[in-house]
Every structure is written in structure tokens, then in C-alpha cells.
């Protein structure tokens, strides 16, 4: 028997509707089986759908499960911000004023309410390693029309989800890349990553510091994610590892644009505090109602 449940669809990493990355959020997911969760995520056909549940850890404000149309993720960035936004908008009061504690597959993740608006999550700890030398030729095959910056290593970064983070000479080179689906699929498998995150710096004085793109093969199709919290969190860890090679203000904070090639205008900001990167952005609600599941 189906049950009426609160539901929202939100746009993450944007203050303007239709410019960010959409997320479906089921706010009352108790009683649903794993098969039902996966079936609904498949039905929404969004990159991720989240299901809010009561926490099992007394320190947490809520628990979330994150599903793609194919599988469950232990963590993802835009679902973290989007779920927090939806719960706060629906009346959730944090146990600690100004901070939500999310329970998910990687453990507890802090989400700050920012005084200027928006939310930011603490990037989970990450395992970081250099891409094996034997895979650079495959990486170059996967990235057509936009040569990477060859004097900078490519990094495999894992925080529940894994991204291969690759530096481009500049933002324009980042935007020129066209992914080869066969090479990218092989690269994902051999490198053990979920996708390819490429980034290139904008000129000094631009409104944003980096252009970012997230490319992956999913369900045998080439996908470019509009705006990706986890990829930006992995990039933040890489820049931290490299001691902020661009210098200047990026040693404390920087701004990202993502989604340009998808006709989006996602905006991500990253701030460091006590060696901890915080990945932030704004979220807007587009659909607010209920579903029957």
C-alpha cells in the first residue's frame, strides 16, 4: 500500500532556478525497502535522489541515503547540500545552532548554515594518490581537443566516491575538452574512479577562479554532471595537497563555475578553516509537495 510522503525537488549550487544541479528529496522515507528506494531513483532519472531518515547516531540531526538510477552512493556533494536545504525548509531544527550533522555512508558530515545565505559541507577525509604512469596515455585518449597540463600530476581522490582530478592550462582548455566515451569508460575501470574531474584557472580578476567539468560514463552513456559537490571537494583536497599552487587568495578561498557546457551556471565556493575545506553554494526549491510511495 502506498503512503503519502513529503517531497521536494531542488536546484543545488545556484540562487537562480534551472541553473544548477537538480536533486529529488523524499523527506519521509521510513518504511521503504531498498528495492523501493532504487526503483524511485530510477524513475526520477536524476543524477541522484535522496531519502531522509531518522539518525541512528545520537550526534546526527538526520540520516540520508543517496541513490543514482543504478546504485547507492555512501556520499555525494550536491545531495548533501540539497537534502540539508530541503529539511531546513521543512522545519528541521539543528541540535547545534548553525550546524547540521548528516549521517551517511561515510559517517558524519557537518553542514554549516552560512550567515550570508547558502550552506557548506565539510569535505570528508580523502585517500589521494597519483594516477599510475601506465594510464596517462589512456587519459589523453579520453580527453579530446583540450590537452592537460602535463607538468602537473593527475590525482585519484576517494571520499566515498572517487574522481580523477586533472589540471588544464586554463579555463578555455577545460571547456574545449570532448570526452571519448570508450577511452573514458576504460579509464574509469582501470583507475577505479567514478569519473573525470577537470579544472582550469580563469584569468586574474575574473568573477570566478576555476572552471570545472565532471565527465563520466554511466549506464553506457557519456554524461557531464552539471555541478558536482564531491568533485569540487576532491579538487579542494588536491589543491591543499599541492600547497595552493596558484597562490594569493586561493590559499584561503576560491570560487568555481561549473556547468557551462550544459547551459548551466553553477557556482561553488570553497573556504579553508583549520586545514578543513568547506564546499558551499546556494540552493532553491522548484517543486514542493508530496508523492505516494
Residues 56 and 63: their CA atoms lie apart, in Å, by 7
Please answer whether residues 90 and 27 qualify as being in contact, where contact means their C-beta atoms are separated by less than 8 angstroms.
yes
Residue with grid cell 541513490, as numbered in its chain: 67
Longest pairwise C-alpha distance within the chain: 59
Classify 192 as helix, strand or coil.
coil
Provide the annotated active-site residues.
Answer: 48
Residue with grid cell 558551499, as numbered in its chain: 280
Classify 104 as helix, strand or coil.
strand
- CB neighbours of 18 closer than 8 A, spacing ≥ 6? 11, 264, 286
Q: How many CB atoms lie within 10 A of CB 164?
A: 27
- CB neighbours of 199 closer than 8 A, spacing ≥ 6? 165, 166, 167, 168, 174, 210, 211, 212, 213, 235, 256
- Chain length of the chain: 293
Nearest CA to 52 among 99, 97, 90, 96? 90
Cell of 17: 532556478
Classify 251 as helix, strand or coil.
helix
Q: What angle do CA 146, 148, 151 make, to 5 degrees?
A: 155
Q: Tell me the angle at which helices 77-89 and 229-241 cross, rounded to the nearest 10 degrees.
A: 120
Residues 81 and 283: their CA atoms lie apart, in Å, by 8
User: Cα(first)–Cα(last) distance of the chain, in Å?
Assistant: 8
Amino acid at each position: 500500500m502506498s503512503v503519502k510522503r513529503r517531497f521536494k525537488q531542488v536546484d543545488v549550487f545556484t540562487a537562480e532556478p534551472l541553473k544548477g544541479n537538480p536533486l529529488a528529496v523524499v523527506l519521509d522515507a521510513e518504511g521503504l525497502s531498498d528495492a523501493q528506494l532504487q526503483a524511485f531513483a530510477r524513475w526520477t532519472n536524476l543524477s541522484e535522489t535522496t531519502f531522509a531518515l531518522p539518525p541512528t547516531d545520537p550526534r546526527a540531526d538526520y540520516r540520508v541515503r543517496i541513490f543514482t538510477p543504478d546504485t547507492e552512493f555512501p556520499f555525494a556533494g550536491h545531495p548533501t547540500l540539497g537534502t540539508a536545504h530541503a529539511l531546513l525548509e521543512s522545519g528541521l531544527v539543528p541540535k547545534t545552532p548553525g550546524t547540521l550533522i548528516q549521517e551517511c555512508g561515510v559517517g558524519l558530515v557537518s553542514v554549516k548554515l552560512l550567515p550570508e545565505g547558502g550552506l557548506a559541507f565539510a569535505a570528508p577525509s580523502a585517500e589521494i594518490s597519483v594516477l599510475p604512469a601506465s594510464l596517462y596515455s589512456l587519459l589523453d585518449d579520453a580527453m579530446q581537443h583540450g590537452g592537460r597540463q602535463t607538468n602537473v600530476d593527475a590525482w585519484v581522490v576517494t571520499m566515498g566516491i572517487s574522481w580523477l582530478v586533472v589540471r588544464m592550462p586554463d579555463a578555455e582548455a577545460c571547456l574545449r575538452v570532448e570526452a571519448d566515451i570508450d577511452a573514458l569508460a576504460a579509464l574509469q575501470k582501470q583507475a577505479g574512479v567514478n569519473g573525470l574531474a577537470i579544472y582550469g584557472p580563469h584569468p586574474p580578476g575574473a568573477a570566478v577562479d576555476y572552471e570545472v567539468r565532471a565527465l563520466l560514463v554511466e549506464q553506457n552513456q557519456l554524461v557531464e554532471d552539471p555541478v558536482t559537490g564531491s568533485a569540487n571537494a576532491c579538487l579542494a583536497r588536491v589543491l591543499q595537497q599541492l600547497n595552493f599552487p596558484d597562490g594569493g587568495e586561493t590559499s584561503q578561498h576560491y570560487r568555481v563555475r561549473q556547468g557551462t557546457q550544459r547551459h548551466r551556471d553553477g557556482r561553488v565556493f570553497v573556504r579553508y578553516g583549520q586545514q578543513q575545506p568547506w564546499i558551499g553554494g546556494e540552493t532553491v526549491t522548484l517543486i514542493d509537495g508530496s508523492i505516494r510511495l
